Amino acid sequence: MGAKRVWSTTGVVALTGALLLTSAPTASADYVRDQQWVLDAYKMDATWALTQGEGVTVAVVDSGVDGSHPDLTGQVLQGKDFTGGGNAQEDVAGHGTGMASLIAGHGHGAGNNAGMVGLAPKAKILPLRVLQNKDDNFEDDAWAEAVRYAVDHGAKVINLSLSGGRGSRTLTNGREAIAYAQAHDVVVVAAAGNDGGVSINEPAALPGVVSVGAVDNEGNLWDKSNTGEGLTLVAPGVEIVSANTNRSDGYSLDNGTSDATAYVSAAAALVRAKYPDLTAGQVINRLIKSASFLDHKGLKAPDDEYGYGILRPNKALTMNIPAGPKKNPLGQMSSSSSTSSQSSKGTGSSAKAKKRFSSGSFLVLAGGIAVVVVIGAIAFVVIRSRRNGGNGGSGPGGGSPQHPTYPPAQQPYPNSAPNQGYPTPPGQSPQHPNPYAQQPPHQGQ
């Protein structure tokens, strides 16, 4: 069963918090590059010297991807439309193009020094269109069929920047599709949701799926990011610039767990490119083991708000992390899933059964919903409020997935090192250290 999603500019502006709109002239592409604070925070120049995601295909199950955007030319495969006819490279909504740009954008101009660059600029994007217009219904069978298609057409990572609303559940076909991907060694990454609630939405809450929340450029949890048991990682998801061919200047500004999910998918592509012999479970293990709580003191992984920590692509590639077991540390979907899951995140004997959800599958794009503004008309006002425990209402569902049996529980991480010469991200005062400094965490090993 599908349900219609409400998508309005008013709702988006309310979602993003303080955002000043001015009558400034249209921004230049170089200005667009300058606003990508994530690239500096993650020291991506050093990371790209190791790999840029060559040879890895990332499936973007979304609203389509416009491969004609100058920052995505040559990166987007033909893909397939699952909405009943159309072109997978047509993106009326603009969301899928934005997610693709965060994963595999390569920029444009002389030396590709202008425009959007994703974390894995040499990965390929397989666009799988499950939404045409912003008011279309979402159907489980559409995105489930797209997931199966991705597996059968060589995707090694599947990005699901969509989420079930509060109380929704993934129907059998969706569960079977996730199980199919896991059985075929594919990393599945999904958004935790933008309800500000205390449970992770499905499909992110399903066993074995990397569930992703959002943080800002100081490493603080975004106040609309869903939290709860079973959250895997958090990644940048506040004041994120992305490609959008529906805007006159070709770009938009987003907040949401969608963007954070795209960054985790890109990091998974980098790991798969550098370590092609690792299984999907071992790739997830590296992402988990290399994450850090940075300057958040007193947390123990897995934490309900930060999971195993903030994504760190460079450390996922460079830390000395044993490959570990081949199985997925987050559990495994049963291929015979029916109305309730027979497995949960984690495989310990104390694992609890998933909570049952109310009927109906209400899928929404989990943020990264374009705040449709001209980049030059934006005064970046960064949301800096820290999470107030339990903020936001709890939906009737979300599941209660257990934690991985490996890696071992990590100890609280040390404070982040001072800013080591990285450019100060937009909206961040110079006196604040860069919270994404790439020092090794204490792994308790």
Predicted confidence (pLDDT) per residue in 90-119, tens digit: 999 999 999 999 999 999 999 998 899 999
Pairing of strands 210-215, 233-236: parallel
Lowest mean pLDDT of 58-72, 137-151, 202-216, 425-439, name the range. 425-439
What pLDDT digit, counting tens, does each position of 154-165 carry?
A: 999 999 998 877
What pLDDT sits at residue 336?
Answer: 63
Mean pLDDT of 57-85: 95
Res 210 pLDDT > 50:
yes
* Amino acid present at 364: V
The more confident residue out of 189 and 15 is 189
Judge contact between 269 and 88, C-beta under 8 A.
no
Res 243 pLDDT > 50:
yes
Distance CA(329)–CA(403), nearest Å, equals 8
| DSSP code at position 376 | G
Res 57 pLDDT > 70:
yes
What pLDDT sits at residue 304?
Answer: 94
CB environment 406-429: b (16+ within 10 A), e (fewer): ebeebebbeebeebeebebbbbbe
The domain made up of 3-379 has a fold known as: Rossmann fold (3.40.50)
Q: Is the dihedral angle over the CA atoms 275, 306, 301, 36 positive or is it negative?
A: positive
Which H helix or E strand runs over 408? none
Distance CA(140)–CA(339), nearest Å, equals 13
Mean pLDDT of 349-359: 28
Mean pLDDT of 115-139: 88
Q: Which of 163, 225, 258, 344 is catalytic?
A: 258
Length of the chain, please? 445
What pLDDT sits at residue 237?
Answer: 98
The answer to whether 335 is a known catalytic residue is no
What pLDDT sits at residue 138?
Answer: 64
CA nearest to 39, candidates 422, 327, 363 = 422
Q: Which of 62, 140, 223, 303 is catalytic?
A: 62
Q: Give the confidence band of 280 by pLDDT, cuts at 50, 70, 90.
A: very high
Measured N-to-C along each axis, helices 257-274 and 280-290 cross at an angle, to the nearest 10 degrees, of: 120
The answer to whether 349 is a known catalytic residue is no
CA nearest to 286, candidates 168, 122, 443 = 443
**Token digits for 107?**
């920029």
Distance CA(109)–CA(122), nearest Å, equals 17
In the chain, domain spans: 3-379
Q: Which of 95, 108, 296, 403 is catalytic?
A: 95
Greatest CA separation for the chain: 60
The more confident residue out of 120 and 25 is 120
Distance CA(324)–CA(285), nearest Å, equals 8
Q: Give the confidence band of 369 by pLDDT, cuts at 50, 70, 90.
A: very low
Cα→Cα distances 326→56, 67, 73, 322, 329, Å: 19, 35, 35, 11, 9
The answer to whether 95 is a known catalytic residue is yes
What pLDDT sits at residue 105?
Answer: 98
What pLDDT sits at residue 268?
Answer: 98
* Amino acid present at 161: S
Lowest mean pLDDT of 11-25, 38-52, 334-348, 408-422, name the range. 11-25
Helix (H, G, I), strand (E, B) or coil at 254: strand
What pLDDT sits at residue 123?
Answer: 98
